[in-house]
A and B are shown apart, each in its own frame.
Chain A
Amino acid sequence: MTQTNYLLKGTCLPDGSKSDIEIRDGKITAIGAMLPKAADAIEIDLTGSVVLPGLVDLHTHLREPGKEDAETVLSGTMAAAKGGFVAVSAMANTSPVADTAGVVEQVYALGQSAGFADVFPIGAVTQGLQGEALSEIGAMADSRARVRIFSDDGNCVFDPLVMRRALEYVKKFDGVIAQHAQDPRLTIGAQMNEGEISSRLGLKGWPAVAEEAIIARDILIADHVKSRLHICHLTTAGGVEIIRWAKARGMDVTAEVTPHHLLLTDESALSYDPIFKVNPPLRTQRDVEALREGLADGTIDIVATDHAPHPAEAKECEWQEAAFGMLGLESALAIVNQTMVATGLMTWEAVADRMSHAPARIGRYTDHGQKIAIGNLANLTVINPSQSYRVDRDLVASRSRNTPFHEMDLQGVIAATFYRGQPTYLNGKLTPQGGR
């Protein structure tokens, strides 16, 4: 397809230097001050904005196939583009489950035809997410979707032998197992973080130890078989300590934190509004602070959204009847800006690492997470970090409206998302660009 060329004026690179960026034929062709505008280029004034390598999400629920009333690959990648993402990783808990080459190829192809972001399917570790028999891991890895991340997300791979075998098996193609760390026996019927608030509200608790015990176990298993382990959505101070301990010993483990766990606490549940019901649950302020610290010092490698759309009826009900999960793609970068950059905990270079370089490296997404440098693909995210906006659930690009940030003011407005040199989101408008 024909490519339009662009000249981005007045942006600030992650290292803080002011620079213009020229995009030609999908690539970055010049970086520097006062670049001249070529005759065929469109100039975009982005003064005051920060430009980042295009964001990569390793944890996205796109709901297609099976729950198209909540989200589709198209609507989910539109939300991604609006949030500054150029690549998302579609979790396997669809219906049918992504446990065969056929399903992952379908999801991959839907992403390519939507044209808003690359969609990298995540394969199920076990058949039907049941935790018993391995799914067709090799076939998914060799399929056109080239799956590298495997996860039973939503379910924990609880059987340590299954976990061991999965970790060993994915070494064949440099894959990684992304574990949803939740001891199912310690969390039967669990509704929210176990603590003073759950006890007061009479809601069944989801104790921190149910997460931490699995993290500790799997780190030891992964180290024993020398394979790659990724811990999904870390939520507890104790979990951060365990990962820190493992990394200090050189163990090959990576971990993610969601934007909502960087901002919200279990006090949100005092409203009994299940918009705040999420798995793993919102924890305490002490946990939030430990997560921020862990993300800042690199103990936590990446931010991942765990974008989890649900139809209205799944949240317009009693807390214990409601579905777990909240939207995340569109508000992720603003929350990271607000909780990590504006607070002085992290630089933009660190944000580029946690939200682009590192997730691309973990997923082995070679076209993504590249530095902003001449010759590299122009996957770019531009944010105006000083501007604020009020979240309105009626204005989201996602097909669902279950954002916990409705009517909250968030700091940081996405000015543009460039996906392979073309804007998927610019001036508040979404434009599909077709894939490669």
Chain B
Amino acid sequence: MKHLLSINDLSKAEAISILDTAQELARVSDGPMKKLPTLRGRTIVNLFAEDSTRTRISFEAAAKRLSADVINFSAKGSSISKGESLKDTAQTLQAMGADAVIIRHGASGAAQRLADSHWMSGAVINAGDGTHEHPSQALLDAFTIRRHLSKGGSDLAGLRVAIVGDVLHSRVARSNVLLLSKLGAHVVLVAPPTLLPVGVESWPCEISYDLDAVISNVDAVMMLRIQLERMNELFFPNAREYSRYFGLNSDRIRALKADAIVMHPGPMNRGLEITADAADGARSVIVEQVANGVSIRMAILYLLLAGSQEIGAAL
């Protein structure tokens, strides 16, 4: 594995190895000495052509805990905002000796373009490309689900996960459908028909338009963000109606199975797809998802840049 562009790049065994590695690394993070020397002298660039807080900081924290040098490069205040092309940006990063580029970009496929081109030679990690994929988010979600629900199993066999909301525009949903099904979970996508992509029937998951019919029968419910700019694009009549049918509120929390968990990739629209009591309640693992994100991203950087053979030696 040279790059991480899509969940399709991972075999089931590789995905599990990332989760296992993250688990080991999380133990280190919980200890008194958080930092490992593994990537000392390596340069990692955070190329964020689209706004992001948690993913960028998460990758930065992960890289720093592995002792890499981190360069942050975001759209605002950089040459990207002056209209520099992806090609020129990539060649610049190459010239500066980047060993890996973590890219967040508004264009679907931008990470793959970077990896397939001859513009740079380092590893490329997709931190979210348009409405395509967000593999590290799916990995941290799978990690979170496994921690809570797999009862010591290495995969997610037998678990049911509902992903609710704007599937059409969600890179988180695409990566999660691929990864969770790969790991043996049964995924149900719940959304109004307007927010499901054409051809979704061919995805390895079940489709439902009815959250109430699904909610009592899942082990995890993952709420997707409704972007405010979708409001005027005719996907649903108004926010109130959306919340009524597809929002997670206290009634639906009560309908959940006893040990079911509530997830959200963030940032949340409180009051729209999720109410405050659902987001902050006992079932919520939303804050834990953020913490797990650092461990997963450490594992990804570790496996891509340090080579899996060194893992025993480093820990």
| A residues with CB within 8 A of B | 194-203, 205, 207, 271-273, 313, 316-321
Contacts and interface: CB of A to CB of B under 8 A. Distances in A.
A317 B116 CA distance: 12
Contacts of A313: 85, 87
A272 B112 contact: yes
Contacts of B131: 202-203
B116 A202 contact: no
Top 5 A-B pairs, shortest CB-CB distance: A272-B109, A202-B132, A199-B197, A196-B199, A318-B107
A161 B107 CA distance: 37
Contact of B86 (A196, A201, A317): A317
Contacts of B110: 318
Given A201-B109, A272-B109, A272-B113, A320 B200 contact: no
Nearest to B199: A196
Contacts of A203: 108-109, 130-132
B132 to A, nearest CB: 3
Interface residues of B, number: 24
A271 B86 contact: no
Contacts of B130: 202-203, 320
A202 B133 contact: yes
Given A196-B202, A318-B113, A320-B130, A202 B85 contact: no
Given A272-B109, A318-B105, A318-B109, 5 more contacts: A198-B198, A202-B129, A203-B108, A272-B108, A272-B116
Interface in B153-209: 171, 174, 197-200, 202
Contact of B198 (A194, A319, A321): A194
A318 B86 contact: yes
Contacts of B129: 202
Interface centre among B86, B109, B174 (most CB of A within 10 A): B109
Interface of B: 85-87, 105, 107-110, 112-113, 116-117, 129-133, 171, 174, 197-200, 202
B108 to A, nearest CB: 4
A202 B171 contact: yes
A84 B112 CA distance: 37
B109 A205 contact: no
10 contacts: A196-B198, A202-B108, A202-B131, A202-B132, A205-B197, A271-B112, A317-B87, A319-B107, A320-B108, A321-B86
A198 B200 CA distance: 10
B4 to A, nearest CB: 16
| Chain B interface mostly | mixed
A320 B107 contact: yes
Contacts of A317: 85-87, 113
Nearest to B178: A200
A199 B200 contact: yes
B85 A319 contact: no
Interface centre among A196, A205, A313 (most CB of B within 10 A): A196
Contacts of A200: 174, 199
A187 B271 CA distance: 32
A316 B199 contact: no
A313 B84 CA distance: 11
B113 A319 contact: yes
Contact of B108 (A194, A201, A271, A273): A201
A194 B168 CA distance: 12
A207 B109 contact: no
B134 to A, nearest CB: 10
A321 B85 CA distance: 10
Contact of B87 (A194, A195, A316, A320): A316
A205 B107 contact: no
A405 B186 CA distance: 41
Contacts of B174: 200, 202
B199 A319 contact: no
A273 B85 CA distance: 15
B85 A316 contact: yes
Contacts of B105: 318
B202 to A, nearest CB: 5
A195 B199 contact: yes
A413 B137 CA distance: 51
A190 to B, nearest CB: 12
Contacts of B112: 271-272
Contacts of B85: 313, 316-317
Contacts of A318: 86, 105, 107, 109-110, 113
Contacts of B133: 202
A201 B132 contact: yes
A202 B111 CA distance: 13
B116 A271 contact: yes
Nearest to B171: A202
Interface centre among A194, A205, A318, A320 (most CB of B within 10 A): A318
A207 B107 contact: no
Given A201-B108, A203-B108, A320-B130, A273 B87 contact: no
B132 A205 contact: no
